[in-house]
Amino acid sequence: MAKRVYIETWGCQMNLHQSEELAGAMRAAGYDIVDALDRADVVLFNGCMVRQKAEEKLLGRLGAVVEQKRRRSVILGVGGCFGQVHGAAILARSAAVDFVFGTRGHASLPALVERVARGGERAAVVDAADDEKEPVPVRRSSVSAMVTITEGCSNFCSYCIVPYARGPMRSRPPERILAEVQTAVDEGYREVLLLGQNVNSYGRDQSSYGGFEKLLRRVARTGVDRVRFTSSHPRDLTDAMIEAMASEPRVCRHLHLACQSGSNRVLGEMRRGYTRERYLEIIDTARKAMADLNVTTDIIVGYPGESKEEFRDTLSLVEQARFGSVYAAKYSPRPLTRAAASADDVPPAEKEERLQRLLQVQRRIALEENRRFVGRDVMVLIEGRTRDGGSYGRAEDHRTVVVHGTVEVGELVPVRVAGAAAAALVGVSLVSEGAVS
């Protein structure tokens, strides 16, 4: 068979990075990575289970592969968290799917593809172990390199399917992490993004590895320009981690810290392991150590039993916390989780109304916070081009900045902020010809 593979991804940055590893495994086996489904001999759908919408999007894309299969020979594999949870049931649900893979053992994927291609069998392989030899990722970005430090999660929050889809939390050996970071630095990457469901739980399963703050310091001293990480759990955030962030100049002043709700009763039902008061205390301590810290968060609205008053508690927490941005979603029951046994009793229309109210409050706060930057200079790592010929990138605190002036992708440039919207800052490069110095 011809060896061209197309990979489509839904979900979090962990999924995006695992698609880079899938591409690496396939390339090592002689496959070319293509950017269009209609050019591929093998199609891989790396799916998500965290939200119902992600499932629906993947299932909606099956029709595009069915159309290709009518014209020519195409092999379709469906995997990731979606494949791990549903397994062989996917094969029964759709005749278009030739094989199912899970969240682990990606180095063996090419062998599975060849087996399906040669024998015509349909297979579901979701019980693979972690790879002893990890695939070298084919990175999507030429600027920022994603590096996994933990896999899985052992928290079992009542709404979350991640422990069932990815298994218990497992820390990668620090030597592997540092070697991957050093390779990225040597290849010219300006930024490293450390990934995990709970990065600040790093090392709790392997005491010889040391804690997250130790790893963070070691990564920051590899010579990389910027170090970012996501996501952190409030329960595991320590003073030592805050001190490491504050004292290492290459660690970005950005903390993504999911709060999920502002109601103590709902937080207890979610099994989050902290209170509203403790959450606010953490970010207050962090901001005292780093006045320029940008805190972002995740929030779920319409959790089972959430009253209107409890939703107002969430709104008031958002007002107090002054987040730079909020990733908000309506609750949707996930199979296998504890919350799925509870009545999903907040009506869909009420969930939507709460979501829009939350986003409205957050947009106002984000605009107010962003306006404080007008007239200031910020350092921006240029990530790409805008449709109108400008550029965009991230400030040190992770705020998006639209940049006018002649700059190249991958440059780290000073930018004078001239305007602000809720979603981004707008500025002029100070190294461009004619810019104010």
CA dihedral for 25, 30, 34, 40, sign (positive or negative): negative
Task: Phi first, then psi: give them for residue 16, nearest 5 degrees.
Answer: -60, -45
Q: What is the pLDDT of residue 111?
A: 93
Q: Cis omega (within 30 of 0) on the bond before 144? A: no
Residue corresponding to tokens 């109601």: 263
How many structural domains comprise the chain? 3
Cα–Cα distance between 404 and 235 in angstroms, integer?
41
Residue at 437 is within a domain: no
Q: What is the pLDDT of residue 1?
A: 61
Task: Phi first, then psi: give them for residue 345, nearest 5 degrees.
Answer: -100, 0
Residue 304 shares a structural domain with residue 397 = no
Residue at 133 is within a domain: no
Residue at 263 is within a domain: yes
Residue at 305 is within a domain: yes
Kindly report the CATH number assigned to the domain that includes residue 403.
2.40.50.140
pTM of the entire predicted model: 0.95
CB under 8 Å to 274, separation ≥6 — which residues?
234, 235, 267
Show the CA angle centred on residue 71, arms to residues 68 and 75, nearest 5°: 50
Residue 262 shares a structural domain with residue 381 = no
Residue 111 shares a structural domain with residue 193 = no
Pick from 75, 95, 125: which residue ends a domain? 125
CA distances from 195 to 15, 40, 149, 171, 270 (A): 10, 29, 6, 11, 23
Per-residue pLDDT reduced to its tens digit, 152-199: 999 999 999 999 999 999 999 999 999 999 999 999 999 999 999 999
Residue 248 shares a structural domain with residue 351 = yes
Residue 258 shares a structural domain with residue 171 = yes
CB under 8 Å to 235, separation ≥6 — which residues?
155, 272, 273, 274
Pick from 369, 389, 417: which residue ends a domain? 369
Largest CA distance in the chain: 66
Please provide the DSSP assignment of 289-354 as one string. Answer: H-TT-EEEEEEEES-TT--HHHHHHHHHHHHHHT-SEEEEEE----TTSGGGGS---S-HHHHHHH
Residue 30 shares a structural domain with residue 61 = yes
Residue at 132 is within a domain: no
Residue 185 shares a structural domain with residue 305 = yes
Residue 358 shares a structural domain with residue 391 = no
Query: In this structure, which amino acid lies at residue 17?
Result: H
Residue 405 shares a structural domain with residue 358 = no
Residue ranges of the chain with per-residue pLDDT less than 50: 434-437
**Contact of 272 with 228, CB cutoff 8 Å:** no
Residue 96 shares a structural domain with residue 162 = no
Kindly report the CATH number assigned to the domain that includes residue 100.
3.40.50.12160
Residue 229 shares a structural domain with residue 200 = yes
Q: What is the pLDDT of residue 437?
A: 38
CB under 8 Å to 140, separation ≥6 — which residues?
16, 19, 20
Q: What is the pLDDT of residue 127?
A: 87
Please provide the DSSP assignment of 160-179 as one string. Answer: --HHHHH-S-EEPPHHHHHH
* Residue-range definition of the domain harbouring residue 343: 144-369
Residue at 210 is within a domain: yes
| Helix 308-321 / helix 348-371 crossing angle, nearest 10 deg | 10
Q: What is the pLDDT of residue 17?
A: 96
SS3 of 245-299: HHHCCCECCEEEECCECCCHHHHHHHCCCCCHHHHHHHHHHHHHHCCCCEEEEEE
Residue at 416 is within a domain: yes
Answer left, alpha or beta for residue 90, where phi above 0 means left and psi between -120 and 50 means alpha: alpha
- What length is written for the chain? 437
Pick from 369, 392, 407: which residue ends a domain? 369
Per-residue pLDDT reduced to its tens digit, 233-277: 999 999 999 999 999 999 999 999 999 999 999 999 999 999 999
Residue 73 shares a structural domain with residue 222 = no
User: Which tokens is 212 given?
Assistant: 């997250």
User: Which tokens is 265 given?
Assistant: 């009763």
Residue at 136 is within a domain: no
Cα–Cα distance between 418 and 434 in angstroms, integer?
15
Kindly report the CATH number assigned to the domain that includes residue 291.
3.80.30.20
